[in-house]
Chain A
Amino acid sequence: MPSLDTHDIGVTPNTAPADENRLRPAVASAFAGAPAYWRSLEHLACDGDVAQQANAAFPMLREAIARHDRRGFLTRLGAGLALAGMAGCRRWPKEEIRPHTARPAGVAPGVAEYYATLFELDGVAHGILAKSYDGRPIKVEGNPEHPMSLGAASALAQANLLDLYDPDRSRHVMSRRSAADAGGDGHRVKQSWDAFTSAVEGRLAEHRERGGEGLAVLLQPSGSPTQRRLVDELKEALPQSQWFAYQPIHHDHAWEGSRAAFGQALRLHYDLKRAKVIVCFDADLLGTHPAHLKLARDWAEGRTTADRGVMNRLISIEPSWSITGSVADERLPLKPSFVEAALERVASRLGLLEAAADPLNEATATRLDALADELIEAGEGAVVAVGPALSPRAHHLAHAINRRLGSAGACATHTAEPLVEDAPDGYVRSLRRLSELLQGNVIRTLIILGGNPVYDAPADAPLDLFSTDDRPLLSIHLSMYDNETSRACAWHVPMAHGLETWSDGRSWDGAYTLGQPLILPLFDGKSPLELLSLIAGRPTGDTRSLVRETFRRRFPAAGAKGWELAIHDGYQAGSEWATISPEVRPVPAFNKPVRSSRAADEEPGFELQFTADAKIHDGRYANNPWLQELPDPLTKLTWDNAALVAKADADRLNVTTGEKIRLAVEDGAKQAIEAPVLVMPGQAIGCISIALGYGRTSAGRIGNRVGVNAYPLRTCERSYTVVRCRAQKIGGRYALATTQMHHLVESVAHFALKKRLGEAGRPGLLIHETSLAEYRRDPRAAHAASHEVHAAPLFDKPADFDEPHKWAMAIDLNACIGCSACVVACQAENNIPVVGKANVAVNREMHWLRLDRYFKGAASNPDIVHVPTACVHCEKAPCEQVCPVAATLHDSEGLNAMVYNRCIGTRYCSNNCPYKARRFNYFDYQASDPREPAKPWLDIPDRQQPEEVSNFKKMAHNPEVTVRMRGVMEKCTYCVQRIVDARIAAKNEFARGARDADVVREGEVQTACQATCPTRAIVFGDLNDPQSAVSRARRNPRSYEMLAELNLGARTTYLAKIRNRET
């Protein structure tokens, strides 16, 4: 491992590397043979006569030496020993520091800089802002100027930062020693990039001579115009070469449906700002949709209008909970085949199809008919969305419905679909073609750029990458991790992280988005652009000029200044695609036989649904501890996936949460997997859902053997749903670590929940919620159940804590969708450790901000409420009065401050906190491996962290926030470091005369959770300013304080949730 000093690795482009020898002359000369300590130049030069010369020069020195008699010697010896003993009482951690001896121009140490760059997921770029401290990117936020992120960043985009510093990242080019070692895992050797290029150069030159014959490239889909340009150039130069693309979470069905509807693959965009009625058929617009940030923002804008008495209406018909379904005004859980049948029914009601017998029961059918009528009434304000899992026909139907309603062109617009160029007939078919070609002896060289197809390919399209004597296949895999595919390939090349290299991409609406590196590649990773250059026989290494060239060609008018501006902004303004409004072809009549409802209910089999994991997506983030530990937005499950089963089905299978079942598919792949069950209220009956991406074997220390791999059940034809799946209890239990229990089961708890959360027609004590109709009648209807608070103080009036600011937060439950981006933002901002599954299982998760998810109503189809809960900064904080060492105190601005240095860990504060918002370091989580048991130490405590915390982990830490050790309590601070930053800036400006008071103004402080929230559900600011957003939120009639009856004066208040329905 190379030296881990930050300046060795993280050389910022504008920082001169430190010269080691220049900084340590004594050490340098010591190696040259001279004494390490020296009195004069003569001594240093080892002149033998130094003593004599010294005596001549300093006669009194000789006297002083001669005066040492025995007594004096012993006296000094004793004193010396005593002093040495005193010094030895306290051993400080040993570490080396290397200061900037000359500060580089334009760099202020300790002042954060922000760079606009991009995060690409599934071929769609998201504009992000990376915060960098002294050359280290430490935090990812949304780019506020970017039209598709508007300041928000998803949990994945933020957590992706941690991958940059992942100690498990691949650090070397690896190769198999010989073809004969094929398949052997232990016969791989470390290589250098140069060794790699010289080894493959001959082969590539050969391919170039033959026009690319025998060369195949498998791309991880990317919207990068530069990659597109290089690929197009290569295709032209090497016409015989074959190009493929694959990703497991694909939109093949949408493309196909769009082709059926329009004759070409088009991308569908929703304008939720204008939409009045939004109906989602298994479409997670607010959660996993590639444009979810923008969609969530627009949707939320249609919710906050509740205060004016109007509000959009969201209806979700889905087999398993999605984020969209969890905030829907009405939700209908139906198994996948029924979701399609429901769509057919709506379409026939709208006159697009002939009414046919469908398997839906009467109640459902009535609701669907009402829904169709509602759609007709809303007209062009209505929009129907269909998820990628539904069949191409369903997508075709949705296009037809939107056209019929008039929303096509209004709330639903179309643009070209650029990703389809990589795989014109879809990713799955592309991969299947590659799989077939590999069976034959056609491909001699296969280059896989990114992805992990060996792990996530459909079961019936495996990639046979093993090279044999009669089939010499040269396979090369570029990847950030030495993963399953890398191990199957002859060569593995480490890939650069997105923050290490230049890149470009297109956001969902087509905006040209630029990605700039913030740090040199830590492990000498290469970008896919470099590998494409290598194939073309061009020099590698200069990705910047490749991207620049693309920019120049696309925007010739922009010039150098335009390039600078685009880099600064992170995207090129006005580069979005133009919308097109094609005609929709009629939907063909349904030709499959429809099963009767009775038969469907009695069928012994289940429908199996594969879902993209909300955290680790398709498995690529499996080694990311922040994401592994992030509670799933709906199940609150961490460190695992599970087979989600409805209560009725669980009873039928005779299983409870944690018991294992075997899932076997009856068609296609004859595979079976064993998975633990999680009984999920609101799961569609007859449908078992399981998240993809788990059960990795070569993910790294964090991701290996976490959860169950569901890919073996997936086939090319059944990418998202398996219609016939057998489930069977196999006995045995598996411990699932959830951060919240399912309290619906316990009868006593249910009594409390009904009162606290409310019932039909009666608002709850904690969760204030009402219907739009009620709210229109009485804006305070949601608070009907809460107690009247008598806040008469016993003694003197307590302090107001309002000098010079009065910080407060307001959380709009009507806007919160539970996406969990805020949880990751908080974790990244505040150096919150990951505790590992074993500790989550005993409820020791450290997230300062948790999203309480409450079910309400019947277990078959409950409502969900998401309640972000963190420290509410009570003015009369119960935690403060019980701390025996005064480690938690109030400041003058109302922050309930936590003094980590002073905390001895009695944990009384946590007991006395009614919100249980405090988190305790039961172990030294920063220093321990989340997959291992806590490591005991046998050293003085403060030595532990410097020595034990991984140097890579340290690099990801925010230097403005203390890293807490074991035995210390911690909690939300309202991002006090950001407040202090803003205050310093304000004071400096005031001192310069640039502002009239040395106070922070509205908008200058944003907490981490607030900044990243896609729906702007969180506002933070100063109550002293009556015009601040938080003051306005407090005046909102929906505003309430949770547990107000305790008279604590919480500074975080909530805005009641309004559901757009009758009751």
Chain B
Amino acid sequence: MSSIRLSQTAERPQRELQAYDPRELTPLVLGGHDFTSITDLVTDLALRKTPRMWYVAMAGALSLLSLLLVTVAYLLTAGVGVWGNNNAVSWGFPIVNFVFWVGIGHAGTLISAILFLLRQRWRTGINRFAEAMTIFAVCCAGIFPGLHVGRIWLAYWLAPYPNELAMWPQARSPLLWDVFAVGTYAAVSLMFWYMGMIPDLATLRDRARGRLAQMVYGILSLGWNGSSRHWVRFERAYLLLAALATPLVLSVHSVVSFDFATAQLPGWHTTIFPPYFVAGAVFGGFAMVLTLSIPAREWFGLRDLITPLHIENMAKVLLGTGLIVAYAYSVEFFTAWYSQQHYEQFVFLNRPLGPYWWAFWTMVCCNVIAPQSLWFPWIRKRVWAIFVVAIFVNIGMWFERFVIVVTSLSQDFLPGSWAMFTPTWVDLGMLAGSFGLFFTLFLLFCRFLPMVAIAEVKTVMPQAQTTRHQIKFDYQPSSDTPRELRRGSWFT
């Protein structure tokens, strides 16, 4: 075990100088932690000291949230005309924001489900985080389709329910598919997140001092006592949910892309959209995980659990998905040229050269050019640099949706109907406000729930490997073995 440098800190100066040694595993937890200190590190955030930065961040998030509430109240009383939408561009910011946020929501489930199934052990440091982000992003996404309809008080007609009119939703409409796709995704993600959190909630319950905290965490932990039976069922359920959530990662954004792809509008009507949207979503989602985790690890003292390795791995995913997205962009242009379809050709000429050229080039700069810097280890080794790239990608992914929605609609078939779209302060306010909602929820999560999957992280610590090894070869537990010794690793 001497080859693992337990004393290593966040930076890894010596490692750069050494030749690559395949026997040497890069540690996923730094700082010489043992199981107890890991538990302390995570639970202290929820139970004891609140970092000052939390209050600062929360103040900012709440003021943005109140902006959202104000704009929504104005929207509800005055009508959807408070946005910049018009006869030609019937969908504007609300749908752009919706697709943006749904996309953000992809990384969480991808990390928690697909990486879990692929045995990517490095996911343990960030999965809770990413899953929480998914839930909150879907919350933000969910408000937009509801608010965006003209008669909000009748939005429930989108739901299939028996009624006196004997009217069902119209199943050919992609908007209806959206309702189901996003609804299913939200439900499964929530379940996955919550279920994965149960052992950690029990830890919080056990360590909580206040009566109220004990009761709340007690209720939330559903009577978890860490018994072997609980663990077996938990792990099986977790695996099953991961299997269930995996196709959803692909389905949700594919279905969201159908909102556009099944329409016959040039610029929307294209078969490349489902994979392109999924890749874009993972791209944008990872950018958001980076955007959140880089400050969080600094402010909440999680540098040992979210290590430069995690950040670097995520940067690599960002680069990979970014390349897919860049490929999708170029293929769209190729298809437009190759199809010899005049309307299609005009749209793709109009995007870079037409009145919304600035949106298109912002998108290209942020989504195609900026991630290319991640080819360089120098950049990948620098957390702040990755943070900057992630911010670029966040902006670029929002503009990607703007380009798709607005440029296609504003100049379509008949030049007589062409119209420009200009956002209003309500458009901008609701976009900013949705970030307020997102950050408020996220900060509440940071403050009151286990930000890192305590139990899971311990499985990737060297101590766990050692113990497991011993169990495997030296030790056959009997039914009356104390639970601590049975797996010996996950519980302190």
| A binding-site residues for B, Cβ under 8 Å | 740-741, 743, 746-749, 751-753, 755-757, 765-766, 839, 842-845, 850, 852-854, 867, 869, 878, 881-886, 902-908, 910-912, 914-916, 918-924, 934-938, 941, 965-969, 1042-1043, 1046
Min CB–CB distance A764 → chain B (angstroms) = 11
Asked if residues B157 and A842 are in contact (CB atoms below 8 Å), the reply is no
Cβ contacts under 8 Å, B342 to chain A = 752, 755-756, 765
Nearest residue (CB) in A for B409 is A911
A937 vs B78: C-alpha distance when bound (angstroms): 6
Cβ contacts under 8 Å, A937 to chain B = 77
Near A by CB (< 8 A), chain B positions 68-114 give 74, 77-82, 84-88, 90-91
Min CB–CB distance A633 → chain B (angstroms) = 14
Contact of A854 (CB < 8 Å), options: B80, B84, B416: B416
Asked if residues A910 and B79 are in contact (CB atoms below 8 Å), the reply is no
- Also in contact, A934 and B415, with CB within 8 A (given A882-B175, A910-B87): no
Asked if residues A915 and B417 are in contact (CB atoms below 8 Å), the reply is yes
What are the interface flags for B455-470 relative to A under an 8 Å C-beta threshold, 1 for contact and 0 otherwise? 0000000000000000
Asked if residues A886 and B167 are in contact (CB atoms below 8 Å), the reply is yes
Asked if residues A911 and B263 are in contact (CB atoms below 8 Å), the reply is yes
- Also in contact, A903 and B151, with CB within 8 A (given A752-B415, A922-B85): yes
Min CB–CB distance A673 → chain B (angstroms) = 30
Of the A-B pairs whose beta carbons lie under 8 Å apart in the complex, a sample of 11, sorted by A's number, is A766-B413, A852-B417, A854-B416, A885-B169, A904-B151, A905-B149, A906-B150, A912-B265, A918-B87, A968-B150, A1042-B414
Q: Taking the complex as formed, is B240 at the interface, i.e. its CB lies under 8 A from any CB of chain A?
A: no
Stretch binding the partner chain, chosen from B45-53, B346-354, B435-443: B346-354
- Also in contact, A869 and B416, with CB within 8 A (given A749-B354, A907-B85, A923-B81): yes
Nearest residue (CB) in A for B84 is A842
A914 vs B268: C-alpha distance when bound (angstroms): 12
- Add 4 more A-B contacts to A883-B173, A911-B409 (CB < 8 A): A765-B342, A843-B419, A885-B158, A904-B158
Contact of B173 (CB < 8 Å), options: A741, A843, A882, A921: A882
- Closest A-B pairs by Cβ, 9 of them: A905-B150, A967-B150, A852-B416, A922-B81, A916-B417, A843-B419, A936-B77, A907-B90, A967-B151
Asked if residues B154 and A920 are in contact (CB atoms below 8 Å), the reply is no
Nearest residue (CB) in B for A740 is B416
A766 vs B415: C-alpha distance when bound (angstroms): 10
A969 vs B90: C-alpha distance when bound (angstroms): 11
Min CB–CB distance B150 → chain A (angstroms) = 2
Asked if residues A902 and B416 are in contact (CB atoms below 8 Å), the reply is no
Min CB–CB distance A321 → chain B (angstroms) = 17
Min CB–CB distance A1043 → chain B (angstroms) = 6
Q: Taking the complex as formed, is B172 at the interface, i.e. its CB lies under 8 A from any CB of chain A?
A: yes
- Also in contact, A748 and B353, with CB within 8 A (given A843-B88, A882-B262, A967-B151): yes
Asked if residues A911 and B150 are in contact (CB atoms below 8 Å), the reply is no
Cβ contacts under 8 Å, B263 to chain A = 878, 882, 908, 911-912
Q: Taking the complex as formed, is B237 at the interface, i.e. its CB lies under 8 A from any CB of chain A?
A: no
Asked if residues A922 and B80 are in contact (CB atoms below 8 Å), the reply is yes
Min CB–CB distance A827 → chain B (angstroms) = 16
Near A by CB (< 8 A), chain B positions 414-437 give 414-420, 422
Cβ contacts under 8 Å, B419 to chain A = 741, 842-843
Min CB–CB distance B80 → chain A (angstroms) = 6
Contact of A869 (CB < 8 Å), options: B78, B82, B412, B414: B414
Cβ contacts under 8 Å, B274 to chain A = none
Cβ contacts under 8 Å, B82 to chain A = 934
A751 vs B86: C-alpha distance when bound (angstroms): 24
Interface SS of chain A: helix, strand, loop or mixed? loop
Nearest residue (CB) in A for B77 is A936
Nearest residue (CB) in B for A755 is B342
- Also in contact, A904 and B415, with CB within 8 A (given A884-B176, A912-B265): no
Asked if residues B172 and A905 are in contact (CB atoms below 8 Å), the reply is no
Q: Taking the complex as formed, is B9 at the interface, i.e. its CB lies under 8 A from any CB of chain A?
A: no
Asked if residues B80 and A967 are in contact (CB atoms below 8 Å), the reply is yes
- Also in contact, A908 and B175, with CB within 8 A (given A854-B416, A878-B264, A937-B77): yes
Cβ contacts under 8 Å, A854 to chain B = 415-416
Nearest residue (CB) in B for A910 is B90
Min CB–CB distance A666 → chain B (angstroms) = 39
| B binding-site residues for A, Cβ under 8 Å | 74, 77-82, 84-88, 90-91, 148-155, 157-158, 167-170, 172-176, 179, 259, 262-265, 342, 346, 349-350, 353-355, 409, 411-420, 422
Min CB–CB distance A658 → chain B (angstroms) = 14
A966 vs B409: C-alpha distance when bound (angstroms): 22
Cβ contacts under 8 Å, A869 to chain B = 414, 416-417
Min CB–CB distance B263 → chain A (angstroms) = 5
- Also in contact, A753 and B415, with CB within 8 A (given A904-B158, A934-B81): yes
Contact of B87 (CB < 8 Å), options: A746, A919, A923: A919
A792 vs B152: C-alpha distance when bound (angstroms): 40
Asked if residues B149 and A916 are in contact (CB atoms below 8 Å), the reply is no
Asked if residues B415 and A743 are in contact (CB atoms below 8 Å), the reply is yes
Min CB–CB distance A865 → chain B (angstroms) = 10
Cβ contacts under 8 Å, B167 to chain A = 885-886, 902
Contact of A924 (CB < 8 Å), options: B79, B157, B172: B79
Cβ contacts under 8 Å, B346 to chain A = 748, 751-752, 755
Asked if residues A904 and B175 are in contact (CB atoms below 8 Å), the reply is no
Contact of A844 (CB < 8 Å), options: B86, B91, B175: B86
Min CB–CB distance A869 → chain B (angstroms) = 6
A436 vs B70: C-alpha distance when bound (angstroms): 63
Asked if residues A914 and B157 are in contact (CB atoms below 8 Å), the reply is no
Nearest residue (CB) in A for B174 is A882
Nearest residue (CB) in A for B83 is A922
Asked if residues A748 and B349 are in contact (CB atoms below 8 Å), the reply is yes
- Also in contact, A850 and B416, with CB within 8 A (given A844-B86, A907-B90, A922-B85): yes
Nearest residue (CB) in B for A636 is B416
Contact of A936 (CB < 8 Å), options: B78, B85, B168: B78
Asked if residues A881 and B79 are in contact (CB atoms below 8 Å), the reply is no
Min CB–CB distance A935 → chain B (angstroms) = 8
Asked if residues B349 and A886 are in contact (CB atoms below 8 Å), the reply is no
A920 vs B148: C-alpha distance when bound (angstroms): 13
Contact of A966 (CB < 8 Å), options: B79, B158, B412: B79
Nearest residue (CB) in A for B80 is A922
Contact of B354 (CB < 8 Å), options: A748, A884, A904: A748
Contact of B413 (CB < 8 Å), options: A881, A910, A914: A914
Cβ contacts under 8 Å, B259 to chain A = 908
Contact of B79 (CB < 8 Å), options: A743, A883, A912, A934: A934
A883 vs B172: C-alpha distance when bound (angstroms): 8
Asked if residues B151 and A936 are in contact (CB atoms below 8 Å), the reply is no
Asked if residues B416 and A751 are in contact (CB atoms below 8 Å), the reply is no
Cβ contacts under 8 Å, B175 to chain A = 882, 884, 906, 908
Residue among A753, A882, A1046 with most chain B CB within 10 A: A882
Asked if residues A843 and B354 are in contact (CB atoms below 8 Å), the reply is no
Asked if residues A884 and B422 are in contact (CB atoms below 8 Å), the reply is no
Cβ contacts under 8 Å, A766 to chain B = 413-414
Cβ contacts under 8 Å, A904 to chain B = 149-151, 154-155, 157-158
Cβ contacts under 8 Å, B90 to chain A = 907-908, 910-911, 920
Nearest residue (CB) in A for B179 is A884
Asked if residues B87 and A843 are in contact (CB atoms below 8 Å), the reply is yes
- Also in contact, A920 and B150, with CB within 8 A (given A752-B346, A914-B264): yes
Residue among B152, B154, B354, B415 with most chain A CB within 10 A: B415
A713 vs B82: C-alpha distance when bound (angstroms): 40
Min CB–CB distance B424 → chain A (angstroms) = 9
Asked if residues B416 and A914 are in contact (CB atoms below 8 Å), the reply is no
Min CB–CB distance A130 → chain B (angstroms) = 32
Cβ contacts under 8 Å, A753 to chain B = 415
Asked if residues B77 and A938 are in contact (CB atoms below 8 Å), the reply is yes
A884 vs B91: C-alpha distance when bound (angstroms): 15
Asked if residues A969 and B150 are in contact (CB atoms below 8 Å), the reply is yes
Min CB–CB distance A159 → chain B (angstroms) = 22
Cβ contacts under 8 Å, A878 to chain B = 263-264
Min CB–CB distance A823 → chain B (angstroms) = 13
